């Protein structure tokens, strides 16, 4: 899918980058998933991230990662 996203001229949205929770075992797993997504999409693309902020502030954590890795 990443290859298709990179080949497409129009901006794309990459979704399920955390693999329905399978890439959320630790903060390092989440970081690696974000890194993979941002390394494998175009600069004009975006990501859609599902969140369940019951136990941690996933919104703030994900925004911090996205800003850091997209810079």
**pLDDT tens-digit profile, the chain (71 residues):** 999 999 999 999 999 999 888 888 899 999 999 999 999 999 999 999 999 889 999 999 999 999 999 88
What pLDDT shows up at residue 29?
A: 95
Spatial CA neighbour of 14 closest among 30, 23, 27, 1: 1
Q: What predicted TM-score, i.e. pTM, was given to this entire model?
A: 0.88
* Per-residue pLDDT at 70: 84
Number of domains in the chain: 1
User: Containing domain of residue 52, as a range?
Assistant: 2-70
Alpha-carbon dihedral sign for residues 69, 64, 61, 8: negative
For residues 54 and 46, give the distance between their C-alpha atoms in angstroms, rounded to a whole number: 24
Residue 24, both tokens? 């959320």
Q: Across the strands, what pairs with 13?
A: 46
Separation of alpha carbons 54 and 60, rounded Å: 13
């Amino acid at each position: 899918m990443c290859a298709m996203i990179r080949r497409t001229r129009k901006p794309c949205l990459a979704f399920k980058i955390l693999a329905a929770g399978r890439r959320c075992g630790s903060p390092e797993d989440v970081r690696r998933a974000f890194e993979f997504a941002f390394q494998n999409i175009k600069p004009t693309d975006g990501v859609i991230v599902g969140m369940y902020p019951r136990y941690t502030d996933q919104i703030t954590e994900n925004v911090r990662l996205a800003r850091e890795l997209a810079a």
